[in-house]
Amino acid sequence: MGDPTKYQFDLPAAGRPENVTIPEFWYPGIKEVYPHITRSRNWDPITNMKAVVIHATEGSDSAGAVSVMVEGKASFHWLVPDENEPEHGQLVWACSPESRLAFHVRDIARHPDVNGGANNVNRWSLGIEIVNAQTPTDAFSDWQVEITARIVRYCWAKYPNLKHIVSHAKLDPPPHRSDPGKQFPWEHFKELVLNGTDDGVPDVVRKRHSVKSMPKGISTKGACTP
């Protein structure tokens, strides 16, 4: 049993993954919903990304979590299904584009350990929701923990300034938020993030000549130039 108000680790400078993919699919109908409960980021959506926030839904299914977006109360980027859902073990739901600001943390929430104590966490973070009731009888499945770690590794590979992996509870502690809760195996999750495996590089990529390996004298006529 952990203390979710202390769940945080920072990604090291070395060891960044190179190729990580995730089995994500748009939640049915969410493309009509997210424009109303997200907004454009007014800064570089790649270099400005500093944190991934781990949440749990306090519910039993993905439909209940998505209803929060439908009702315009909050939004998030990914949703990890529970073991009682057919998608469990197969896919994660994409619920908002990464390039858009989602409302998964209160604007006033902050912590001095995270991005220098800056507020407006949503501006520089991504949010992962895991379907879980946050009760002693609802354990997180191994797959939920593993796929959440893989999403984080995907983000780590993609965003050059990503550093903080943190719980919602640390940023906005009880009585307001306690997720992902005491049952979430944070240390095991951290191990999976830091020591997970990358995807293999496809042969078509391996065979691609780099600029450095281009034969001398090759013509660049017709090539795109700045």
Mean pLDDT of the chain: 92
Tokens for 75? 């939004």
Residue 80 has, within 13 A of its CA and on its CB side, a CA count of 29
Q: What is the pLDDT of residues 193-219, one digit of tens each?
A: 999 988 877 777 767 655 454 455 444
What lies within 8 Å, CB to CB, of 108 at 6+ separation is 119
Class of domain 4-195: alpha beta
Question: In this predicted structure, what is the pLDDT of residue 199?
Answer: 86
What lies within 8 Å, CB to CB, of 45 at 6+ separation is 98, 99
CA distance 88 to 63: 13
pTM over 0.75: yes
CA distance 97 to 126: 10
Please give the residue that has the higher pLDDT: either 202 or 42.
Answer: 42
